[in-house]
Amino acid sequence: MVHLKARLISWLENNRELVVALFCLPASFLFTVALQLRAHLRRLVARADQHERAVKEIQARVQEWNKLPSRDRRLLCTSRPNWLSLSTTFFEKHLHHRVPIPLYDILELDEQAMTVRVEPMVTIGDITEYLIPKGYSLAVTIELVDATLGGLAFGTGMSTHSHKAGLYHETITAYEVVLGDGSLVTAAADNEHSDLFKALPWSHGSLGFLVALTLKIVKVKPFIKMKYTPVEGQKEYCNLLRELSGTYEREPKEFPDFLEATIFSENEAVVMSGDYCDGDPTAPVNHSSRWYKPWFYKHVQSFLKKGESVELIPLKDYLLRHNRAIFWVVEDMLSFGNDALFRYLFGWLLPPKPAFLKFTTTPGVRAYTFTKQVFQDIVLPISELERQIEMATQLFDKFPLLVYPCKVIDRGPSSGQLKRPHSKYLVPGTNYAMFNDLGVYGVPGKVKEKKPYSPVTAMRKMEEFTREVGGFSFLYADIFMTREEFEAMFDLSLYERVRRKYGAEGAFPHLYVKVKPEIDVFAIGEENAVQ
């Protein structure tokens, strides 16, 4: 049996592209259609008072749980299947008391207050389809259509507008939460639950059940006028990013609405700066998200040869530009996926649905893939960008790298799980520092070359560097920290007080328990390290 399993894994590894092309893509497409039909049927039977009725049902379930004998009260979590989450981990929900949270609707658009109120299971795809025709967008829009607004609220996220707007949670004005005793509270920055408001971001469902949230929106224009600037020399592209993001001054001469960089090697990058635009007859229009178009990062790479260029991208295409190739992860699944013939004939099947990929992941496959790929977003001071690139190159040897500048605001002591940015990183005359997301996605170079590679060693060194410079890891991805190291990276002082005050202790799992991998990363990582 062991020999057969090893042969099967070896066959799957050697024929991965065949499996993805002939099975995963068609099955993923059918899976997506099934989910869409389910959502359509749910909307057909919706009632005007559905939200209130659903919230009362959630409260009733939690209150019933409280009546159970203490020995029978397992900790609470949602009943949403792990495979529907974009997290790389598989939280052990079967060991917990699961409560359904069937909340999928957009509740209210307030154009005067410039906010939108939504239920937590509304996705980026849903809200984009709803807001853009009305001339609005979320202040921070993540590029993956399947990400839920509630998941981002209790986790986090950023976009290429984050050098202006900050992290995703900075755009939330209110959370509506069912607590461990079944009561419903609304937490806002200026009400009696302001401490809960501060602790909910990065809490990952460890303080209560989110039943609605209110987010800031911004007015938009039909196009993004995008400027592609290829840069040779690491110092040169790092400095350009710092200059355009406002790292050195409060009001730089050029402050684009959108800013990012794709780093193709240690010495080559393309910096992209974009602004809202009504149109420009002198600039070509690129519908970048259409199925037959080159993957966006490949399009970006072409400017290394073409030189600096400007084009218009329709807003929706821009916001979802990385969706088809899941940034560049799909290339490791389908090396021919960007070939013109494949794009025209089968590009509409992309991307493989993350939910389907997780749905078909067995514990054995999870342990295997854990050692063969990296999928990390790490937020670090942009002043240390050169060191970030050097560290990522040494540890993962994986290009491209993604860089999104992001404002991290100093909210004062004990103001949430994010530690205050060090004073040396603050932008002069402000209460914020400019950080950046460093995205490392795909199969490390050493794995491709079948050279010695230990995922545990690599990630622990990266986490050590992150703690050293005052950065933090996105917790949707696997972490390799001990509890003590985790508490050194994050400030849990307010979080622990809020857990006690609002009855989360004994009702919901602790944050560290919620986000740590369900597998023994140290044992599996060393046992399966590429030799």
Q: What is the pLDDT of residue 260?
A: 97
Q: What is the pTM of this model?
A: 0.90
Helix (H) / strand (E) containing 49? none
- pLDDT tens by residue, 232-287: 999 999 999 999 999 987 665 668 999 999 999 999 999 999 999 999 999 999 99
Q: What is the pLDDT of residue 362?
A: 65
- Using CA atoms, how far apart are residues 141 and 67, in angstroms rounded to an integer? 41
Angle at 387 between CA 381 and CA 388, to 5 degrees: 65
Domain range annotation of the chain: 50-219, 223-351
By C-alpha distance, which of 400, 349, 363, 449 is closest to 20?
349
Q: What is the pLDDT of residue 472?
A: 94
Q: What is the pLDDT of residue 12?
A: 62
Tell the CATH topology of 50-219. 3.30.465
Q: What is the pLDDT of residue 528?
A: 55
By C-alpha distance, which of 435, 451, 434 is closest to 443?
451
Q: What is the pLDDT of residue 478?
A: 85
Q: What is the pLDDT of residue 60?
A: 97
DSSP state of 474: -
Q: What is the pLDDT of residue 364?
A: 64
In the chain, how long is the greatest CA-to-CA distance? 71
Dihedral sign of CA atoms 314, 279, 165, 267 in order: positive
Q: What is the pLDDT of residue 106?
A: 93
- pLDDT tens by residue, 368-395: 677 788 889 999 999 999 999 999 999 9
pLDDT along the chain (531 residues), means of 10: 66 70 85 81 77 96 95 91 74 88 94 97 92 94 87 90 93 97 97 97 96 96 97 97 89 82 97 96 94 96 97 93 89 89 92 74 68 88 97 95 96 92 93 96 88 88 96 89 95 97 96 83 58 50
Q: What is the pLDDT of residue 146?
A: 84
